[in-house]
Amino acid sequence: MSNSQATNGVMPTRLPHRHIWIITGPAGCGKSTVAKFLANQLSLPYVEGDEFHPQANIEKMRSGIPLTDADRWDWLISLRQKSLEELKAGASGVVLTCSALKRKYRDVIRIAAYNDSDVLVHFVYLAADEGTLLARVKARQNHYMKDAMVQSQLRSLEPPTPEERDVLSVDVSGSMSEVEELVLATVMNTLAQDGGFN
C-alpha cells in the first residue's frame, strides 16, 4: 500500500505540536505540485508563496531581473504571518511554498517558532540538478518564471547545511509521483517522531 493510500487524507492523531511545512527549492523543482499533494494527503491548508509576491516583484521576474534581498524581506514576512494565521485559525499544520534560496531567508520563516513552543518549522528541500529544473520550467505554461531565471536562482542558492536540523532534503530526480510519495514518507516519518501516531 502506498503512503498516500495509507494516510487517506487524514492527519495523525494527538500531535503535540503544530507544524509549518515549507516546500523549498529553486524554480522548476516541483514546489507547488508537491505542496498541493502533501496538503491534500494531510488535510492541511495550502499557501502558494508566489501569490504573495507584490506586483513589482512579479514584473521583475517576468523581465528576467533577479530579486534582491530587499525585494524579498516583506514577502518572506508575509508568508510567515500567513502560516501563523492558519495555525491560529485552528489548523494543526500548514503547507507553504517558498523558494527560501538562502539561509537568511529560511531564518525569517524560522522566527515563527521562536515565541511559540507548540509550533515546529520544517523545510522540505527539493534537490534537483540544473537540467531537470530547466526542463520543468520550459514545460510550464503561462508562468512568469522563465528558464533564464533558473541559472540566476542557482547562483543565489545556498543549499541547506547539516547544522540546519529542521531541513529535510529530498531528491526530485525521479518522476513526480515518485517524488510525491518520497516527500510524503519523509513527512510522515517526521510526524511519527513527534508522537503523532497510535
CATH number at 108 reads: 3.40.50.300
Residue 39 belongs to some domain of the structure: yes
Instruction: State the total domains in the chain.
Output: 1
Residue 73 belongs to some domain of the structure: yes
Residue 3 belongs to some domain of the structure: no
**Domain of 76?**
16-192
* Per-residue pLDDT at 2: 40
CA nearest 113: which of 158, 46, 166?
A: 166
pLDDT band for position 1 (cuts 50, 70, 90): very low
Residue 4 belongs to some domain of the structure: no
Residue 61 belongs to some domain of the structure: yes
Percentage of the chain exceeding pLDDT 70? 85
Residue 25 belongs to some domain of the structure: yes
* Per-residue pLDDT at 57: 92
| Single pTM value for the model | 0.86
Higher pLDDT, 8 or 31: 31
Cα torsion 132, 134, 135, 141: sign:
positive
Residue 90 belongs to some domain of the structure: yes
pLDDT band for position 101 (cuts 50, 70, 90): very high
* Per-residue pLDDT at 142: 57
